[in-house]
């Protein structure tokens, strides 16, 4: 069986965990003698969560899909808008998806077109209810009018005649109990829908106990699989359904409802505190979002399909101990915990996310405490009497091709590093254009003077070039603060080594810092300044360490 992709190319229908098509996987769940469970999802992300939780199928709820769009469960979202959401879900998970098809979005003609489009997108089944279009949610009001039985049977037949795969599942939802029409009418309708070709019957109830559902089950006598939605009678033990021979239980709306509680609580706390301190650490990390949406797969695909370029290496200067009281007595600052991982570990993780995997760390103070898997360690055993440039010289052999050089006590978001790596400059510095203004007076570490300040327009690609980096520059005269991060090309690495050799000959190598090195290089070669606006942090105080936990 084939399905048509949005680009008009055919491909095999995606398979489930068991290697069968998703159509067959859903049919297996519905027809199995063992009870099955489908969990609600309303978008691609929630569908991934359902799969990771271990469910074998997804219920694409009409209520929660509409609510996630900010709409009522009254067919306010068009069927094509619903189809768009469903396609995202089908792309996001390998699980079979049973679609809440409401009334089928109209008469038999709408049903057959809808069923065909679902099948083409790999949606494994649909449940349609015997209501009038546009529908009203079953739990709103009393005595809702139902469709004529013969007319609804026509919708079922049209759907079955239009399915693109023989295993596509069409379930007929009986609303007679919800509408107060009684058990006899519910059974009459269920039998008619079964005879019309429905693969299973969903019997619905809004009572607080399962007595009505169980009475229907006994009277039905297993003529076709029964599906239930125990939203209202949630206290009934699942063992009761299993003993009664229920085919499938749908947990219909609980992911969205739980998300509402969490989002309200988070929003209220942030609004009250005007800070992220109370919520950070209690919410999913940005990295977890990246994992769920498949960033790792994209990176792998980039390596497969994009033109190859030599991999950049990195040198991290982490020889100083830092002065954070008792925290740095037995370990250097770079090994302090930031959200469950050493500061150095977070920094190296960002480097690796951007493809920089060959990392050399220069350690010194309490060097035995500086350990990180997959990282080359170089020791500056004279860290107490030398400066930054001496530490860099200890790793001179690592600076050959394209190299990123960074302090070991800084954190920055990945887009900053990616910007440096994309630069065609031979030497490029990351500069915070807000650096002179966002910090308390006198606390900015390395202020920058360039041949032009940031214009305020991120589309402005006119290059800026370094003139000087120093701590004694007046904030009003500066263009921003250097982030302690720069990148050199292979040619730039040659310039850097030449400058280090010259400074060594002048007796400056032991005590000099990186700002002096870069200022001297800028006098001989073009050193480009790349402007950013925040999204980085250097950890000098306990307050900085606390703030680092919010830099996701």
**Which pLDDT score, from 0 to 100, does residue 551 have?**
63
Measure the CA–CA gap between 537 and 211, rounded to whole angstroms: 61
pLDDT for 329: 86
For 497-503, which contacts have Cβ atoms below 8 Å and span 24 or more sequence positions? 497/396, 497/399, 499/524, 500/389, 500/392, 500/393, 500/396, 503/389
Distance between CA atoms of 284 and 279, rounded to whole angstroms? Answer: 10
Residue 16 confidence (pLDDT): 59
User: What's the pLDDT at 12?
Assistant: 37
Output the pLDDT for position 8.
Answer: 32
Closest alpha carbon to 230 in 71, 70, 51, 35 = 35
Catalytic residues: 73
Look at 129-133, 298-302, 310-314, 384-388 and tell me which has the smallest mean pLDDT: 298-302
Compute the distance between CA of residue 168 and CA of residue 97 in angstroms, rounded to an integer: 11
pLDDT at 374 over 60: yes
CA neighbor of 204 nearest in space, from 146, 154, 148, 149? 146
Q: Tell me the per-residue pLDDT of 478-535, one tens digit each, with 9 for 90 and over.
A: 999 999 999 999 999 999 999 999 999 999 999 999 999 999 999 999 999 999 988 8
Name the percent of the chain lying above pLDDT 70.
Answer: 92
* Cis peptide bond prior to 201, omega within 30° of 0: no
pLDDT range class, residue 310, cuts 50, 70, 90: low
Mean pLDDT, rounded, for 69-88:
91
Q: What pTM, to 2 d.p., does this model score? A: 0.61
Non-local CB neighbours of 482 within 8 Å, separated by 6+ positions = 429, 430, 431, 432, 435, 445, 446, 447, 448, 469, 515, 518
The residue whose two tokens read 């169980």 is 214
Predicted local confidence at residue 223, as pLDDT: 96
First-to-last CA distance in the chain? 44
CATH superfamily ID and name for 299-548: Spore Coat Polysaccharide Biosynthesis Protein SpsA; Chain A (3.90.550.10)
Judged against a pLDDT cut of 80, whether residue 362 lies above it is answered with yes
| pLDDT for 14 beyond 70 | no
Residue 265 pLDDT > 70, yes or no?
A: yes
Q: What is the mean pLDDT of residues 128-153?
A: 82
**CATH dotted code for 2-252:** 3.20.20.60
For position 136, what pLDDT does the model report? 67
| Mean pLDDT of the 61-76 span | 91
Judge whether 58 and 50 are in contact, CB under 8 Å: yes
Torsional sign, CA 145, 146, 149, 154: positive
Domain ranges for the chain: 2-252, 299-548
């Amino acid at each position: 069986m084939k399905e048509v992709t949005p680009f008009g190319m055919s491909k095999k229908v995606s398979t489930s965990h068991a290697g069968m098509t998703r159509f067959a996987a859903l049919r297996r769940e519905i027809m199995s003698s063992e009870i099955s469970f489908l969990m609600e999802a309303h978008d691609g992300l929630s569908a991934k969560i359902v799969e990771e939780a271990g469910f074998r199928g997804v219920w694409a709820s009409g209520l929660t899909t509409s609510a996630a769009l900010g709409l009522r469960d009254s067919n306010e979202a068009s069927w094509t808008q619903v189809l768009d959401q469903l396609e995202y879900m089908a792309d996001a998970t390998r699980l079979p998806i049973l679609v809440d098809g409401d009334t089928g979005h109209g008469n038999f003609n709408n049903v057959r077109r809808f069923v065909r489009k679902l099948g083409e997108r790999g949606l494994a089944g649909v449940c349609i209810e015997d209501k009038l279009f546009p529908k009203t949610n079953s739990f709103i009001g009393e005595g809702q009018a139902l469709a004529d039985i013969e007319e609804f049977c026509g919708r079922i037949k049209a759907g079955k005649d239009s399915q693109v795969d023989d295993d596509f599942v069409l379930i007929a939802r009986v609303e007679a109990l919800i509408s107060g029409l009684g058990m006899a009418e519910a059974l009459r309708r269920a039998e008619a829908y079964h005879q019309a070709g429905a693969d299973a019957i969903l019997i619905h109830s809004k009572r607080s106990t399962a007595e009505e559902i169980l009475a229907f089950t006994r009277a039905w006598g297993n003529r076709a699989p029964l599906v239930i939605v125990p939203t209202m009678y949630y206290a009934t033990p699942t063992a009761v359904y299993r003993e009664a021979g229920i085919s499938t239980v749908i947990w219909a709306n609980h992911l969205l409802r739980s998300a509402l509680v969490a989002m309200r609580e988070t929003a209220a706390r942030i609004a009250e505190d005007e800070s992220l301190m109370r919520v950070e650490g209690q919410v999913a990390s940005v990295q977890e979002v990246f994992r769920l949406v498949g960033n790792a797969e994209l990176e792998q695909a980039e390596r497969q399909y994009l033109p190859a370029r030599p991999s950049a290496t990195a040198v991290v200067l982490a020889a100083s101990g830092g002065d954070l009281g008792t925290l740095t007595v037995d370990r250097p600052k770079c090994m302090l915990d930031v959200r469950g991982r050493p500061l150095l570990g977070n920094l190296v993780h960002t480097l690796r996310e951007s493809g920089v995997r060959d990392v050399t760390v220069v350690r010194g103070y309490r060097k035995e405490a500086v350990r990180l898997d997959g990282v080359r360690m170089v020791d500056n055993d004279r860290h107490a009497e030398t400066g930054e440039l001496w530490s860099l010289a200890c790793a001179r052999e690592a600076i050959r091709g394209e190299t990123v050089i960074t302090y070991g006590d800084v954190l920055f978001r990945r887009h900053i590093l990616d910007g440096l790596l994309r630069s065609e400059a031979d030497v490029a510095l990351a500069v915070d254009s807000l650096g002179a203004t966002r910090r308390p007076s006198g606390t900015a570490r390395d202020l920058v003077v360039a041949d032009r300040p940031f214009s305020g327009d991120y589309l402005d690609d006119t290059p800026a070039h370094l003139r000087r980096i120093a701590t004694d520059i007046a904030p009003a005269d500066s263009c921003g603060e250097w982030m302690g991060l720069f990148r050199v090309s292979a040619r730039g690495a040659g310039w850097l080594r030449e400058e280090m050799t010259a400074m060594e000959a002048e007796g400056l190598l032991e005590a000099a810092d990186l700002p002096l090195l870069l200022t001297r290089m800028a006098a001989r070669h073009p050193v480009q300044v790349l402007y950013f606006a925040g999204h980085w942090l250097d950890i000098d105080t306990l307050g900085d360490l606390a703030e680092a936990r919010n830099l996701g």
